[in-house]
């Protein structure tokens, strides 16, 4: 009986994709592709929905993609390309596997449980923020970041693996490098 109650509670935690709170007419600009993924002309805001997984699979999002303040443990289904910023801030991610390959704006993955940047976009047009994680290495970081690169408050002992090109500053305080 306890197992049955536990299963019912677990099912209640999974939001029905159709019950996600959307702004009026927000999904009118979504195009369903034959492979089951979506192209979106505009922004996708899935923030603060208590999600443990992304409820849809995306190919391209022309605007911003925001899945922050959830309980995500994976970015499986995230868009391949984002025309604005990509925000997966404050989840339970331990990996960036499944993240977008190219982000024209900023990429925000701070306040997670990341131990690696493997899977991060190769190119980020704006700011890249991976602060407040459990990183011990920058291996897998983007090659090019158009804005600043923030890796502060991790467990880094060196900046080996940092982006080759950074358009702004590199912020690294609060790491083992400083000690």
DSSP string, 126-171: S-EE--SS--S--TT--SEESS-EE--SS--S--TT--SEESS-EE
pLDDT one-digit tens code per residue, 163-176: 999 999 999 999 99
Please give the residue range of the domain that contains residue 64: 31-179
Tokens standing for 94?
Answer: 């331990």
Residue 47 lies in a domain: yes
Residue 16 lies in a domain: no
Residues in CB range of 4: below 8 A, 6 or more apart: none
Residue 71 burial (CB < 10 Å; 0-12/13-18/19+)?
middle
pLDDT one-digit tens code per residue, 82-99: 999 999 999 999 999 999
Q: Count structural domains, the chain.
A: 1
pLDDT one-digit tens code per residue, 31-73: 999 999 999 999 999 999 999 999 999 999 999 999 999 999 9
The whole model's pTM is what?
Answer: 0.86
Indicate the DSSP class of residue 36: S
Report the alpha-carbon distance of residue 21 to residue 46 in Å, rounded. Answer: 8
Residue 11 lies in a domain: no
Residue 102 lies in a domain: yes
> Phi first, then psi: what are they for 34, rounded to 5°?
-55, -25
């Amino acid at each position: 009986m306890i197992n049955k109650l536990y299963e019912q509670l677990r099912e209640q935690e999974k939001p029905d994709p159709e019950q996600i709170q959307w702004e009026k007419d927000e999904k009118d600009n979504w195009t369903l592709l034959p492979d089951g993924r979506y192209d979106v002309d505009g922004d996708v805001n899935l923030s603060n929905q208590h999600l443990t997984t992304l409820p849809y699979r995306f190919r391209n999002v022309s605007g911003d993609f925001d899945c922050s303040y959830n309980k995500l443990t994976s970015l499986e289904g995230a868009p391949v390309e984002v025309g604005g910023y990509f925000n997966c801030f404050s989840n339970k991610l331990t990996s960036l596997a499944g993240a977008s390959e190219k982000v024209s704006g900023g990429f925000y993955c701070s306040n997670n449980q990341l131990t690696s940047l493997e899977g991060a976009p190769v190119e980020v047009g704006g700011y890249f923020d991976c602060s407040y994680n459990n990183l011990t290495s920058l291996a897998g970081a983007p090659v090019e970041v158009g804005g600043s690169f923030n890796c502060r408050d991790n467990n880094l002992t060196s900046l080996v693996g940092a982006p080759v090109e950074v358009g702004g500053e590199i912020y690294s305080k609060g790491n083992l490098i400083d000690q």
